[in-house]
Structure formats: C-alpha cells, structure tokens
Structure 1
Amino acid sequence: MLLPLASEPFEVPTDRDMLPSERRTFVRTHRTCVFGYPRLKDGPAMSIVYYVPTDDELLVSTMAGRGKARAVDRNGKVSICVLDERWPFAYLQVYADAVIERDPGLVVDVMMAVAGRMSGEPLGDEARPFVESMAAEEDRVVVRCRPYATFAQPPRHLHSNDQEEKITHWVSGTVPWDTPDPS
C-alpha cells in the first residue's frame, strides 16, 4: 500500500543521532531524494526524483529506457539520499536492493502519487486515464527499492558568526533498516 504524503516531514534532532525508528520515519515522511546507481563506466550516476514510500519499500517512477531502469536491471544495488526540505538541512542515505516492476496498475498508482507529492495535493480520479496514457506512451516502470541500511547526516550548521555558540559534531554510522531502537 502506498503511504500518503505526510502533512509534516519528520523534524530531525539537532543534538544527537537519529534512532533507527526515526530514520525510518524520516524516509516515510519526505518526498525527494537523490537516486544513485552504478554506471558501467565512470562514477555513480545521480538524479533528483520524487519517491513514494510503502511500509517496507520506496517506489520510484521512471521510463524503461532511462539509465536508472537499465542500471537496476544490470545491478540491483542503489543508494537513495533522502533530502530534508527544511533548514537546517539534513539527509539520510538509504542503501537498497532494487528491481524493476512493470505492472501497469502499480505504474499508474505511483505516477499519480508522485504527481500528488509534486503538487502537494492528491490527483483526482479524473486524471487517471490521462496518467495511464502517459505511462504507456513513455513506457513507464517502477523501481521497487527495498532498504537494507541507512546512514544519517546530522543537521549541524552555523546560525550566526557568533563564536560563543559552539558547533558540535558526532559520528554517525550505517544502521540496518530494521534495527530496533535501543532500550
């Protein structure tokens, strides 16, 4: 089941690393990411995309002929850098196994959900025939990403040049996606 767009994105703590459950909430309540994948030659490719979360996956709409889809068919390992849209900016790197899904119903559902994320409000059912036509014409597919680990970057920034205020840093680490919070 596709999760609806959250009314408020998760606000990242600025005084500590995110708990594993907070990392999952951050991903489920945001909508944009940098989608990274390995290329045959050169360094990794990256593109900004909207994504749609489910309870255990992140879904990305793309055209079958684009690099994202071809790369996932070649090598199912992707990185998704979920972007916070509020200051101070934070991001969360998600490592995922990905596969291409061609089910026309899911493709249209994801495209409609992405349009809702782009505009900030869901598309009405009257738009579905137009989206179905676009999906067929553009040979759209869904990249189905199943997260297995995350890496968090804390939002630590200067708010002024006042040297009385100290900036603190800490080390974050890669945490398995389904890790429970510490007791």
Structure 2
Amino acid sequence: MLLPLAPEPFTAPTDRDMLPSERRQFVLTHRTCVFGYRRRNDGPGMSVVYYIPTDTDELLVSTMAGRGKARVIERDEKVSLCVLDERWPFTYLQVYADATVEDDHELAVDVMMAVAGRMSGQPLGAEARPQISTMCEREHRVVIRCRPYETFATPPRHLHRNDQVEQLSHWASGVVPWDAADPDAG
C-alpha cells in the first residue's frame, strides 16, 4: 500500500546523529530526493524526483521506460536516494537500495497519482485518474521499486549569525542498516 504524504516532515535533531528509527521516519515523511545510479563511463547519473513510500518500507519512483534510470537498473540494480529536507537548516539522508523496474500500468498510475498529490500538497481526486492513466500510457511510465538496505545521514548545521562561528560543530555519521534497531537508552 502506498503511504499518504505526512502532514509534517520529521525534523532531524541538531545535537546528535539520527537514531535508526528516526532515519526511517525522515524518509517516510519527506517527498523529494536526488536519485543516483552508476553510469558505465562517467560519474553517477542523478536527478531530482518525488518518491512514494509504501507500508513495506519500499520507495517507489515513477519514470519513463526510455530514461536512463530505468535502463541502467537492468544491468545494475544498486541505486541511492539522497532524501532532501525542504526546511532550513538543510539536512539530507542517503538511502542505499536495490532496485527493480516494474512495467505495470495500474501501479504506474497509482504512483503518479500519489506523486501529483505530493507535488500539490493534497491528494488528487478519482476524477483525475483517467487523465493520469492516459499520460502514463503515452509516456510509457514504469515504476522503480527501491528496497533500502542502508542509510547515511548528515546533521543539519547552520550559522544563524556570524558571531556563532565558535559554536559551530560537526560530527561523523556512519552507514546504518535500514532495519537496524535503536540502541538501548539504558
């Protein structure tokens, strides 16, 4: 099942690294990412896309079958999604995933309906489905199904005034398995 747009995106803590559960919450409550994939001869291919989380922790991305994102996955299923926070101070969370391409028209329509809702901030009504269906068919829309296996987070750090330079600090984050449990608080 596709999850609806969260009323409020998760706000990353500014004084510590995100817990594994907070990393998942960050991904589930945001809507845009930089989709990255390995290119054969050049640096990584990247594009900004909307993604749709599911109740099974998958992230779905709509694209046209002829685009690089879909074509590359046939030879290399490793992708990354750099999930973007839309608020300041800016933070991001990188998700590493295994991806497959689904050429299922109804799924493509479902995902595009959800994407349109994320773009506008409100769900599309059922009356829009025939138009979305026609667009998906015309553009040969497919769905990239991303199954996360690890995350990497960066903390939001920002100077609100130049006299705060001495207070600015950073810390290292690490790669954490997607399904990792939070450490015991005790």
Q: If the TM-score is normalised by the length of the shorter chain, which range does it land in?
A: over 0.9
Matched, 1:19 2:19: yes
Between the two proteins, the alignment pairs up a number of residues equal to 183
Q: Aligned partners of 1:157, 1:93: CA distance in 2, in Å?
A: 19
Q: Aligned partners of 2:6, 2:65: CA distance in 1, in Å?
A: 28
Q: Which amino acid aligns with 1:140?
A: R
Q: Aligned partners of 1:4, 1:73: CA distance in 2, in Å?
A: 29
Q: Aligned partners of 2:112, 2:164: CA distance in 1, in Å?
A: 48
Q: Aligned partners of 2:158, 2:102: CA distance in 1, in Å?
A: 40
Matched, 1:3 2:15: no
Quote the offset at 1:34 in angstroms: 0.2
Corresponding residue of 1:46: 46
Quote the offset at 1:15 in angstroms: 0.2
> SS of 1:43's equivalent?
coil
1:1-183 aligned at under 5 Å gives the runs 1-55=1-55, 56-163=57-164, 166-183=167-184
Q: Aligned partners of 1:111, 1:164: CA distance in 2, in Å?
A: 44
**Structure 1 gap ranges (5+):** none
Cα deviations by residue, 1:45-90 (Å, 9 ceiling, x for unpaired): 1000000001310000000000000011110000100000000000
Q: Which amino acid aligns with 1:94?
A: V
Are the equivalent residues in 1 in contact too, given 2:159–2:165 (CA < 8 A)?
no
Q: 1:164 to 1:157 in 2, by over 3 A?
A: closer
Quote the offset at 1:104 in angstroms: 1.2
Q: Aligned partners of 2:88, 2:149: CA distance in 1, in Å?
A: 27
Stretch moving more, 164-173 or 138-147 = 164-173
> SS of 1:74's equivalent?
coil
TM-score normalized by structure 1? 0.98
Q: Aligned partners of 1:140, 1:107: CA distance in 2, in Å?
A: 6
Q: Aligned partners of 1:84, 1:143: CA distance in 2, in Å?
A: 22
Are the equivalent residues in 1 in contact too, given 2:91–2:155 (CA < 8 A)?
yes
Q: Aligned partners of 2:102, 2:22: CA distance in 1, in Å?
A: 28
TM-score normalized by structure 2? 0.97
Flag as ranges the 4+ runs of structure 1 deviating above 4 A.
Answer: none
Q: Which amino acid aligns with 1:34?
A: V
Are the equivalent residues in 1 in contact too, given 2:34–2:49 (CA < 8 A)?
yes
> SS of 2:74's equivalent?
helix
Identical columns (%): 74
> SS of 1:170's equivalent?
coil
Q: Which amino acid aligns with 1:82?
A: V
